[in-house]
Amino acid sequence: MSRCRVCQHALLEFFDFERQPLSSAFVAPDGTDDEFFFRLAVGMCESCALVQLIESVPPELAHHEGYPYHSAGSSVMTKHFEETARRFIETELTGPDPFVVEIGANDGVLLHTCGEAGIRHLAVEPSGAGTVRVHRAFFDAASAAAILATDGPADVVYSANTICSVPDLRPVFEGLDVLLASDGVFVFEDPYLGEILERTAFDQIYDEHVFFFTVRAVQALAERFGFVLADVERLPVHGGQIRYTVARAGRRTPTPAVAELLAEERELGLTDMATLEAFGRKIQGIRTELVALLHRLRAEGHTIAAYGATAKSSTIANYCGIGPDLVPYVCDTTPAKHGRLTPGSHIPVRPAAVFADPYPDYALLFAWNHAEEIMAKERAFREAGGRWILYVPHVHVV
């Protein structure tokens, strides 16, 4: 892509992570010859300032029946979605027969909570969504029309960590125009570019994240398709996100929070090329420091493991050239990943129980966005003298 996926203006590339695999395509030990690779590079639209991947992979390759992430596996995320559901029930789903739709519902934690409260709900999810009712399709005008015919208009259409992964957003907004009630809202939350830059959290950039939103870019996006950005809210989950509330034009007045964050973005120069290029230099510095640290520890005879076979760990492992020679294995709680190899870097994935049998001297925390939860769970590791290696916002040892 040399043009913005939304407004078709030129993209200005500012960093290249080079050759990368599909971040969730954990491979069998005998399947490494068939991996799909692409060039992971990011640029900014010179017009609407939307930061996005230069190249993207077909959605059906990234999201499939065996998609290995499940939000119910994290107590923090389970609580987050339960609280979000209760908030919708109190503020948006207050009519006589409210209806909520979730795009990309994963295993359906939020919708299950709504169902327990007697709220009609539906997941639009091509790869399944646990025990909730599912319309198996990508969300667009056709699927929206089918839902409207059977269930009526939606009071809330919600999505978490999904809209940023949709390469073509026009069908999504066309679907919203069909399905959303006149006073309904589209609420989505995704990683915030401001947090990514502030934390140098470059591993948030991988194939499944096509867009890296700012308030400025989302406001322009909503207006392009006849909607208005009505509210924004910072969220602490997944390393820093923003929850965007979008409504039909003329139906809601934007809250002061929208203007406040827009002003903050201007003051920080969040979408200035100089800011983005400086971010790239920080990424290069982290790679140099992290690789040097791992080589030194291995040369000194220390044992090292990684913790959390996350999608985003694919970016740092492949960009930094971290393989089983530096990190012999990574522990993870997801059974579907056990016995497989991390994409591209081919680090063996082992069950979390292996972490204590015996403990390594150092653990590279790939799942840094769940650091508090993981470190509390693995308190015995530190008590045994183990040390965590983190690389966000810089390389350091805990």
pLDDT in tens, 69-89: 455 456 888 999 999 999 999
Confidence class of residue 129 from pLDDT cuts 50, 70 and 90? low
**How would you list the strands of the sheet with 227-235, edge to edge?**
134-135, 120-124, 99-103, 154-160, 180-191, 241-248, 227-235
pLDDT at residue 386 in the model: 98
Residue among 113, 198, 211, 246 at smallest CA distance from 393: 198
pLDDT at residue 67 in the model: 46
pLDDT at residue 239 in the model: 78
pLDDT at residue 2 in the model: 86
Question: In the chain, count of helices (H) and strands (E)?
Answer: 12, 17
pLDDT at residue 57 in the model: 86
pLDDT at residue 69 in the model: 46
Residues 6 or more apart whose CB falls under 8 angstroms from that of 96 comprise none
* Token pair 């194939």 in the structure block, residue: 207
Structure tokens at 274: 């100089």
Confidence class of residue 128 from pLDDT cuts 50, 70 and 90? low
Confidence class of residue 287 from pLDDT cuts 50, 70 and 90? very high
Confidence class of residue 1 from pLDDT cuts 50, 70 and 90? low
pLDDT at residue 130 in the model: 61
pLDDT at residue 63 in the model: 55
The arithmetic mean of pLDDT across residues 228-250, rounded, is 94
pLDDT at residue 56 in the model: 82
Q: Quote the pTM value.
A: 0.91
Tell me the CB-side half-sphere exposure of residue 279, using CA atoms within 13 A. Answer: 29
pLDDT in tens, 146-189: 999 999 999 999 999 999 999 999 999 999 999 999 999 999 99
Burial class (CB in 10 A: 0-12, 13-18, 19+), 282: middle
Structure tokens at 138: 């990508």
